[in-house]
Amino acid sequence: MRENVTVAICDDEEVVLPYLSRRIYEVFQKYRICVVTEEYSSPVELLKTVQNEKEYEIYFLDIDMPKMNGVEFGKIILQSQPEAVLIFVSAKEEYVFQSLRVHPFFFIRKSRFEEDLEQAVSDLSQRYQKAEPKTCTIWDELGHPFEMSLVDTLYLEAKDKYVNIVTKNGGFFIRNTLSDMEKTLEEYRFVRIHRSFLVNLRAIYMIKYDKVILDDGQELPLSRNKVAEVKRRFCQEV
C-alpha cells in the first residue's frame, strides 16, 4: 500500500477530536494501514484547506455542524475529488438517510462508535490489500531449495552457521547466513531489525524504541540504528 494515507477528521465538538483522532489512527494501524490524521472543528475551515490544494483521501465527518453540515461539505468535496472516501460519524442516527445523497462509504453511530469504526476500517482495508505470493523458495549453502511460507513465517534468527526459520507452527534450520537470507527475502517484505534477526513485516504488531512486538506477543530486539528504517518499511509496505 502507499505510505501514509491522509485522513481529515471534522467535528464541531473540539473536546472529542483528540479521542476520535487517536482511535481512528489505532484501528487503521491494527489493519496495517499507516495514516496521517488532521483535526478540524469546522467544515468551513476544512474546506478552505482543501481549496488551497491540500486534499485528503479519507474524510471522517460529523453531519450536524453549524454553517455547513457534513452532507453539504461532502457534495462540494466530491465535485473535485470523486474518489474521496466519506465516512460520517454522528450521534443522530436519523441522518443516515440524508447522508445517502452523497453515497458515503460508511455511517458510524457515535452510540456504537468502537464497533462501527472497526467495521468501517475492516471494509476499507480491502482497498489497500494487494495480491502477493504465499510462498517463496530459499536455498541453503549447498544449493538445496526449501519452500518457505510468506504467511506463516514470523522471523529468521541467526544461530552460529545456521538460520532458524521460525513459523507459527514451529520452525526449521538451514545452513546459511542471515545476510544471504536478507537479500533473498527483502522483496517479500522481510526487514532486518538486528544483527541476529530478520522479521516478516506482516507479523509485526508494534514497534518500540528498542524492540519489535509480534502479533503473537513475542518480543524481539531492535537495534537503535535500525529503528527509522524498520518504521519506514512498516508504514510503506504493510
Residue 229, pLDDT > 80, answer: yes
Q: Tell me the per-residue pLDDT of 133-151, one tens digit each, with 9 for 90 and over.
A: 889 999 999 889 999 999 8
Q: What is the mean pLDDT of residues 90-99?
A: 75
- pLDDT higher at 59 or 69: 59
Residue 41, pLDDT > 50, answer: yes
Q: Tell me the per-residue pLDDT of 15-33, one tens digit each, with 9 for 90 and over.
A: 999 999 999 999 998 887 8
The model's confidence at residue 129, banded by pLDDT at 50, 70 and 90, is low
CB contact burial 2-37 (16+ within 10 A = b; e otherwise): eeebebbbbbbeeebbeebbeebbebbbeebbbbeb
pLDDT (0 to 100) of residue 130? 59
Beta bridge partners of 86: 59
For 4: left if phi > 0, alpha if psi spans -120 to 50, otherwise beta; the answer is left
Residue 121, pLDDT > 90, answer: yes
Q: Look at the pTM and tell me if it is higher than 0.85.
A: no
Q: Tell me the per-residue pLDDT of 148-175, one tens digit each, with 9 for 90 and over.
A: 999 899 999 999 999 999 999 899 999 9
- Asked if residue 174 lies in contact with residue 189, where contact means CB atoms within 8 angstroms, the answer is no
What mean pLDDT is reported for the chain?
A: 89
Element holding 77 (H helix, E strand): helix 70-80
pLDDT (0 to 100) of residue 1? 46
Residue 194, pLDDT > 80, answer: yes
